[in-house]
Amino acid sequence: MTEYSADIARFGLSRRQVLQAALLAGPGAMALAACARADSSSAPAASGSAGSGPKTLQIASPTNPVKWPISPGNEAIAAGLTPEKNATLRLYNYADYLDPGVIKSFEEKYADSGVKVELSTFNDTLEAFAKIRSGAVPFDIYFPSYDQIGKLVLASLVQPLQHSYIPNITNVYPEFTNPFYDQGWQYTAPYTLYTTGIGWRTDRVKEDIGARPNPYDVFWDPQYKEHLAVLDDYREAIGMTILRNGGTDVNTGDEAQLKAVQAALLEMNQKTQPRVTITGYTDLPEGRLDLSQAWSGDLINAVSYLPEGTDPSVLRYWFPKDGKGMVNNDTMVVLKGGQNPVLAHLFLNHVLDATQAMNNFKFTGYQPPQVSITPETLVADGVIPETLKDAVVLPDYFNTGYRQLELPPDTEAKYLAIWQQFKAGA
């Protein structure tokens, strides 16, 4: 038994957690997991015509871009179709991650079709995949992160896009029409962008965290004991610790590096006893935390949760000035089991409209990849205070930043074992 296998047994990882990678891989989960183990991140990209079907789970990366095949019988819908009449368009997304006003304006835009939009929410991707695969609810649109695309395609849960319905793609960064995780944007349209950094309140934290030689060290600083938090996301906490330790591969499976991460997280527990949460966007502005590992969108969103009369300039966000931090994005896909593919395509186009994208940004705090958005315009338009300019995701970050990729199942198990031990407080 390896060290990590022993940890799985010792710290009681649930069956739900241990099988996460395999379950998400789609039908015949364990068989697909075996295929993925046989595959490698350096394998040639998946490719093929509509006559070829996906066989194994490729690990897409900037150095190994993937063009996913299109299976027979799952071709894109025809161009020029009319919207479905008197339909209910079903969306599946995280809670508070879509502006109700964007939904309402879509219903108004296509009122002649009698469309109604129904939004359902999930807590995590494991729950989402299980429900989508069950087919109990015929969801039309799902909002996954880019590292889920291979699993969705391999499980035949998504349908390829008919680009003619989505002309607003021209509003977004050009790289999203040929992203490494979905060459040719065959299955995905971009939704939001975010970096992972550190947020704090200057009226409660007197130092400039970003001025530290290694800002990540703050999570091991006893002066902030019990007043700080890390994200309740194993990839984010482990990735941050890899960077803090001087690594650059936030997807590493190297035994020595992961052993060092394991030791560092246990040391963090002893020194600062951090909270583990994803509610920093409310906990920081409302004073329940002094500082937190945070997604960039959380700090922008935090402005709306400050007590009345509190100057928004007390909020700060740090991300490496050289762009060498974690940067990621979420996407939109049309599900194969949906009943309204035309309306689904039109809704993706609606979200990519510049006005609707900005309205959604103001509601969620998470930035759309609109080329018109810059830190300067956001400050000038009063969307963010000057002091949160560092929370704006810049296009260059997708060249300099570190991207979280799908992990092979054996590496995934190691990460989960480390995470469970950390959360157990051992």
Per-residue confidence at 249, pLDDT binned at 50, 70, 90?
Answer: very high
Compute the distance between CA of residue 412 and CA of residue 235 in angstroms, rounded to an integer. 10
- Give me the pLDDT at residue 80, please: 98
Q: pLDDT at residue 363 above 60?
A: yes
Class of domain 88-193+329-384: alpha beta
Compute the distance between CA of residue 150 and CA of residue 403 in angstroms, rounded to an integer. 15
- Give me the pLDDT at residue 409, please: 87
Q: pLDDT at residue 51 above 80?
A: no
Pairing of β 326-334 and β 141-142: antiparallel
pLDDT digits (tens, 9 = 90+) for 85-111: 999 999 999 988 999 999 999 999 999
Q: What percent of the chain has pLDDT over 90?
A: 81
Per-residue confidence at 58, pLDDT binned at 50, 70, 90?
Answer: confident
For range 10-39, the mean pLDDT? 35
Let me know: does 357 contact 383? Beta carbons within 8 Å. no
Compute the distance between CA of residue 78 and CA of residue 296 in angstroms, rounded to an integer. 38
Q: Domain 196-326+403-423: give its CATH code.
A: 3.40.190.10
Q: pLDDT at residue 29 above 80?
A: no
Using CA atoms, how far residue 345 sits from 110, 272, 359, in Å, is 13, 48, 19
Compute the distance between CA of residue 176 and CA of residue 277 in angstroms, rounded to an integer. 30
Q: pLDDT at residue 386 above 70?
A: yes
Q: pLDDT at residue 42 above 80?
A: no
pTM of the predicted structure, to 2 decimals: 0.83
pLDDT digits (tens, 9 = 90+) for 124-161: 887 899 999 999 999 999 999 998 999 899 999 999 99
Q: pLDDT at residue 23 above 60?
A: no
For range 288-292, the mean pLDDT? 97
The CATH 3.40.190.10 domain(s) of the chain lie at 88-193+329-384, 196-326+403-423
Let me know: does 220 contact 272? Beta carbons within 8 Å. yes
Q: How many CA atoms lie within 13 A of 238 on its CB side?
A: 26
